[in-house]
Amino acid sequence: MIQLHGSGEKHRMHKTPPLVIILMLLILSSKASSRDNMLPNHLRLNSALTCRLVGGLTREQRTICHESPDAAAIAFEGLQLAVKECQHQFRWHRWNCSSLAVKSSNPHTSGIMKRGYRESSFLYALTAAGVAHSIARACAQGRLLSCGCDPLGYASHPRDRRANKWEWSGCSHNLAFGIEFSKKFLDAREQEDDLQSRINVHNNDAGRSILSSHMEVRCKCHGLSGSCQLRTCWRATPDFRVVASTIKRQYRKALIVAQEELNNGLSVLRGRPRGRRRSRARPAPKTSLLFFEKSPSFCEADPKTESAGTSGRVCRIGRTSRSGSCDLLCCGRGHALIRKSSIKPCNCTFHWCCRVDCQRCRDDKWVAVCK
Ligand SMILES: *[C@@H]1O[C@H](CO)[C@@H](O)[C@H](O)[C@H]1NC(C)=O
Ligand SMILES: *[C@@H]1O[C@H](CO)[C@@H](O)[C@H](O)[C@H]1NC(C)=O
């Protein structure tokens, strides 16, 4: 074990943000709630509390939460995973997903998700994929009573099994159950038979399809001294970053639902590529994102979209086209250079065995921030 010691008094690197506390509460309560069905009534408090703590659930969602509190608790973890990924994917954008984290542990209460922006379509796909992802894994980890490993009895794989001497075995992540619960829990929000609800459900489905298409096959060798006479393989969900990056690419090519489609709700799932006026409307593939409202610039603070504006944002000097460039991020207001200092461990020395002593040094950097 290597320990890191600061010279002088210990210092905390950062304060624990409220989000982390909420997450910890959810995780703690979900651990407890997976046993809830076996517990006497008076001990079921935890799950009921989880269902009440999370704001912005619809009546249908609350019912599902009380019916399956353990799965709902995992679903909330999936939503938080999606918010975290959104912040990563949009870290250099004017709208950077930061408002979703502070407001509530339920991103669906955010102003953006009530709209039909390109950003909204991204969030619907990402949260639906996040819930399916978390549930699929939790099933395989034995955290849920209602599901286990995916039996995969039905699955086939393109490669010839005999030639490669491998068979399905081990514990596959239960994608089917994850997708089913994501549908049940999130599509339940979309009760209105209107255009916006149908677009939201389409985007939810797109996120889940993208997750499905990234499932991985992982294998293990068996046999004398690693001879790999037999390989057993199972299906696993990919790293969620990979799913989020693909959804981000779909965000860039998202299709706007044309005005005439808006008037004719029945053909809503036909979109048209942005900026190409002449091309005929054509059906949107399953993994396309759809939106119907032009996004605001997100340059100025606007409570309606919970946008903080870009003033004060750190930006990158250089090529204009680069994401996060000061030109794009600062909306033409220009930028200022400010000195940012931080304390970092430095001049570390290793002592046998096993300790590392570091000095603490000031690290001064000039950064550009938007005016
Ligand atoms: C996101 O934007 C907000 C508001 O402009 C800002 O306070 C925050 O630091 C930004 N987050 C990142 C990761 O850049
Ligand atoms: C590291 O230690 C050396 C000698 O002790 C000192 O001269 C140097 O300034 C230190 N480096 C930093 C970054 O403080």
Burial of 199 (0-12, 13-18, 19+ CB in 10 A): buried
Q: Whose CA is nearest to atom 7 of ligand 2?
A: 347
Q: Quick one: pLDDT at residue 163?
A: 52
| Pocket perturbation via mutation, ligand 1, pick of 90, 94, 98, 315 by most ligand atoms within 8 A of CB | 98
For the chain, the first-to-last Cα distance in angstroms comes to 46
Residues, the chain, total?
A: 371
**Per-10-residue mean pLDDT for the chain, 371 residues long?**
37 42 45 42 58 88 93 93 96 91 78 94 98 96 92 54 69 94 96 88 97 93 80 92 97 87 57 45 78 94 88 89 90 94 90 88 92 94
Q: Whose CA is nearest to atom 11 of ligand 2?
A: 347
Q: Quick one: pLDDT at residue 188?
A: 95
Instruction: For ligand 2, say whether the CB of 264 is within 6 Å of any of its atoms.
Output: no
Question: Angle 241-115-330 (CA atoms, 0-180°, nearest 5)?
Answer: 70
What predicted TM-score, i.e. pTM, was given to this entire model?
Answer: 0.78
Q: Quick one: pLDDT at residue 279?
A: 45
Instruction: For ligand 2, say whether the CB of 230 is within 6 Å of any of its atoms.
Output: no
Domains (ranges, CATH) in the chain?
54-303 (no CATH), 310-371 (3.30.2460.20)
- Residues 6 or more apart whose CB falls under 8 angstroms from that of 12 comprise none
Q: Quick one: pLDDT at residue 223?
A: 80
- Residue 172 DSSP class: B
Q: Quick one: pLDDT at residue 38?
A: 47
CA dist., res. 37 & res. 203, Å (int): 33
Instruction: For ligand 2, say whether the CB of 346 is within 6 Å of any of its atoms.
Output: yes
Instruction: For ligand 1, say whether the CB of 68 is within 6 Å of any of its atoms.
Output: no
Q: Quick one: pLDDT at residue 269?
A: 57
Cis-peptide into 354, omega within 30 deg: yes
Nearest ligand to residue 358 Cα: 2
Q: Quick one: pLDDT at residue 22?
A: 45
Of 139, 210, 120, nearest to 181 by C-alpha is: 139
Instruction: For ligand 1, say whether the CB of 98 is within 6 Å of any of its atoms.
Output: yes
